[in-house]
Structure 1
Amino acid sequence: MDTRWKKYSHSMKTKSIVFIVMIACFTGIITLCVKIDEYHEAEVDIVFEDSYFKSDEYTYESGDVVSSLAMLIEKYKSEGYILSGQSIDKSEVEQAEDGLYSEFQWNSKYFNPNLTNAENHEKFKEVYAYELSQIKKDTIQNDLEQYEITLKVLEGYKDVIYYASDGEVEFTNSLNKTKDYFKTFSSFMVFDEEGDEVYPKEIEYSKNYWIISPNSNMENRVGEKIYIAYDDDYLNSNIKEWKEAKESITKSLFVLALLFIGFLVSFIYLIIVVGRKFFKDKELHLNLVDKIYSDINLEICFGLIILWLLSVSFFFDSYKVDIYRIMIPITTFIATLGFILILSLVKKFKNKTLLKHTLIFTFYHKVFQSIKSIYDSGSVGSKILLIVIGYPILVSLTFFIYPLTFLIYPLTIAFVSWLALKQVNKFNEIKEGVEKIKNGDIHYILDTKGKGELAILATNINEISNGLKEAVDNELKSERLKTELITNVSHDIRTPLTSIITYVDLLKIEKDQSKSEEYIEIISQKSQRLKDLTDDLFEASKASSGSIPVNYEKIDIISLIKQGLGELNDKIEKKELKFKINEPKEKLFIEGDGKLLWRAIENLLSNIFKYAESGSRVYLDVEDLENEVKFTIKNISAYELNISTDELMERFKRGDESRSSQGSGLGLSIAKSLIDIQKGNFAIEIDGDLFKAIIKMPKHKK
């Protein structure tokens, strides 16, 4: 299954299908959003409303009627009431007068700052007498207009039965004005000084009930009453329309969510795979569209958006055309072009060329590089030449500014002099540094700041110095390793050899036959130990020299490990170790020499038998790394691993510094050499008492 997925996940056919799905989902989203906005005026809150009586439609309609009736009985009352000026809001008039007085202060010649505020106010009333009288007339006229508008609003609600009165005036469209009459309807609202009563009760639980609440519409309830009721046919029709609208919008939003998920998944998938032939493909594959500059690409994208808006607006204004039949192909076509350009930008972002591949950047970069190539050409003379050539150009550009020409000339001469002096100082620093290195200070580092031939020269001298320092360090390390090697070899060989000599001397004088046999057995063990050390030393020398022939073949790494562990079962049980193998489901084949590979693994397992904590777990992990197979062995050491990985890889180096174990210290070195000659990679890691050996072998090519 994984192989099939890897095969098809990045194919052009798969990408094309997903791209088509993405465009289809995007077109559906845009079309559905426009449809919801046109037919339902984007009132998506209806989805979360569980009752018509708690809906915004019912609340706003009722609130409009209540507020209109409250305004009529509390402020406007009647046309005569308004004409008599009794409806005028004093604060509104005062605000208008304050505005006129401010105008009088700033613009009128009659305002005298030397007079008191009261005196200026008197002058203001005299000068602005007409304007002040006009304020009252305008306010009355505005109130009359609002009064007429409010009456027309109420006339528009023909199926809403209402009655409102303050004891003197009343507004109604019903012959029966009693409270009990209004209560006979399926939905009513009664607000008077006796209290509030609405039906159904759920109206009060609406989130927008404050709109129709009498506390916000009726300031003074004494003698005031407002009764509202809804005609049953009108109410049932509204409830039916509300339910249909809710069902329609709910379905639309559900489809919209599915389309959005489909678009999001397909778009993210295309972002991940675009430009790649497989997941770990490091090379980014570009096409003809990717040659378009990024800034031009963005301008085209914005142009496509404007084109879509203009096209849709044009067809919306044409009532003879079915907008959705036209909008779907237009959106599909423009979205296809747009997302091709967007995915091209994604590829440039992955390739880290999004900003570099812009027309503006390319132009200025070429100009800068042209100047820089001359300046960094190699000699101080060429830099001065660049300044000398640029000088007359600068003068010609500023010739019309007479004083500026004479200012530029000395500045140019001063800059050329400073540049020449800077280069001379840099040369002297390099000369002094070379002298110090020649005298033995190989750790001296030259300053490499800046660019040009002197900076390059300083960098090259530093590299020579670093190479010399590394050579000296390697020579010292080599001498140290040779000394340690001789010491370790001498120690490991001398120990069994001394025992052999000692027991041979004892054997010469021993008369007791039983003791003689015991001495012979010890001599035999020490001789075998000496032979093993000599064999290991020979094998290590042979492996590191690369003279071992390698017979490459197809190897099932899992079978090799399991077969080997079966042969070493006695040692595993003796040490009470528990082996845990983590392997992939599919078989893994590597390219290598089976005998040499097992010899390397056997050396690692031998280390585990010698140094692992008894009764501990040993983890064997096999991983597929696309072109390689990674094999990891992890175990807990019985000894404290207070040693670096580099030291542990040295010959005759053991994990136990006391050298009390029976190992030769050559196992890891031999394993590394055997893996290296098979074109593999061997490494070890230490974390506290955790020892980890990692082998990477090339995968067998089918």
Structure 2
Amino acid sequence: MATRWKRFNRSTLNKTIAFSLFVLCILVGVNSGLNIFLNVENYESVTVEKYLESNSLSNELRYSASRLEYVLRNYKSEKYIKSGGTVKNIDVEDSWQLTNLYNNFITENNYEDGEETVKLFWIQKNDEIQAIKEIIKKSDLANYEQIIYDLNNPEGLKYYATDGVNICTNTDDPDKEFYNTRKAYVLIDDTGVEIYPENGDSSYSPSLLDRIKNIEGGSDETIIYIGITDEGLATRIEKWNNDRETLIKNIILITICFILAIMCFIFLLIAIGKKVEDEEIHYIFIDKIYSDINLLIITSIVTVSILQFDHIINIRHINVNLMKLAMLSTSLLVVTFFLALFLSIVKHLKDGNIIKYSFIFISLSKILEILIKIISSGPLMLKTMSTIVILMILTIISVKYPPSIFIVLLISAYVVYNKIKLFSKIQDGIRIAKEGDYENKIVLHGNGEFKSLADDINAITDGLKIAVQNGVKSERLKTELITNVSHDIKTPLTSIISYVDLLKREGLQSVNAPKYLDVLDRKSSRLKILTEDLFEAAKLTSGNIKVNFEKVNINALVSQILGELDEKIQESKLGFKVSATSEKILANADGRFLSRVMENLLSNIFKYALKGSRVYIDIVETNHEVAVCFKNVSANELNIPVEELMERFKRGDESRNSEGNGLGLAIAKSLMEVQNGELELSIDGDLFKAEIKMPLYKS
């Protein structure tokens, strides 16, 4: 049996088949992954069989309601925008263009900021103000049209929304019965909120939730009716079923290929290098590559593949078939070369010569051999030659000048003593460094081999000193990380335990029960946010995140985010000043991730900025990149190094009394890195500056 297995696993044909099958499994797996990536829109379908039971359906209804409320609150109607309603009562601080124009007006005329100056500004700059209003109107109209387009695509979503004056609808049917007879709908009026099916968590926008409260209190006439027609629902169900079928089929195929690839890989690890006729390791042409060069090539292949993955994926915007061909061709080359080189390393490991066959080892061995020859023969030759030369000199001198022999011997003794003294200094320096004192320096004057040796030893001690300092810092940061995580989890958890105990003792009928439940709600929400941020930070660190690069209008994105955070801005009493080098600056980024980065930075400002101060947002465009700079004055003294602010669980508030968890800047930094951008922080006194940079979009 053993002989039969030996013949089987050492057969060249079987090893060739296993090698080919491994490569084929990887290619099939990559192809299945591409099928999922290119054809599947909703990955929830793999776990939820029926579309009507999915979170996606309910989230679409909730999101549509939030967008309709946003239209009624900001844009009213297309006619209202075109008539200038959105810019009719606009103030200087409501638009970064007006703010920038006003600041220039003050600077040019050396005016002081005040009511009289504002009145004079509106009069003297009327033409330029009207031009800016036209720009804002166009931007508002474009945003309005985009929202309406998104609501109508995919088809089948019918809606009717009104605030009592303005109406936004694609049916002209205000009858509630028209909508609640649908299989999927959301109804918001004075009777409350009704959504069917109600799956997942509530995800209405904060402004819509406020409106719902006003409706229930009788101070708002808002009505939002949304329903999905049977045809629209059928289209969505068909797409859901297609996504589910594609996911299940390709996941099963990937799993099978993975198992087969592992089996082939293990077989190759066992069989590679061996033949039936003997127990020796047999090499082929590729095994002639030095083992360290081999490892360097493997590392380079993996690194280049990872770096070029996004570029290959982006070919889908040009041609899907071309992208698949490029991906499969690249995978074939990468996997073939990687496996061949890796198996070569395995051969050398089996033969026990992986180190001896490395280029570095062979080079060092040659150098050491030369040095040994020099050391072993050099001094003897030097002594012999020196003796012959000295004897010749002494012979000549003794014949003509006998007293000069003493002087020659004295000079020789001095030279020898000086060399011994220099060597002793080097020995003492090495001994002191060995005892751990890296501050000590070996000081030798002049030139020569001893001076070079002393400088090299000093450089080594400097490196050891830096390594020790870095090690101490690393241990300190690890300790702080554990302490901070423990604190941020323990604080709300302690409160939850305490108030649950109070509820147990006092009962739900206690007069304090609502207050206890409110505390439990806030603390559990804080713990949930911390958990979600920890999950997102871990996900970013692992690189398991998909980036969708697209053309992003930075000006519009900043305006949109500030508009959505208007209530927080009003509560924070901060003055926001936005300036840009161009009216429309485009970046190549993922709009969703970029919004998250900006929201994290603004959230940081809301928490730590000095109340009543101004926040400056500068949008700058260069030849190759776009930069958005956020500047604010900190309410607390910033007494920690700026590089530590982007470490996880690190806060500007060292007392940790604020609601933050110290993950916002770390997540923002990781999100910028996956978009080929960067986040830079700087501190100047109490002025905190955060700047994000991303590639410029080029059509």
TM interval, shorter chain, is 0.3 to 0.5
Relative to the length of structure 2, the TM-score reads: 0.45
Q: Name the structure, 1 or 2, with higher relative contact order (CA <8 Å, separation 6+).
A: 2
Relative to the length of structure 1, the TM-score reads: 0.44
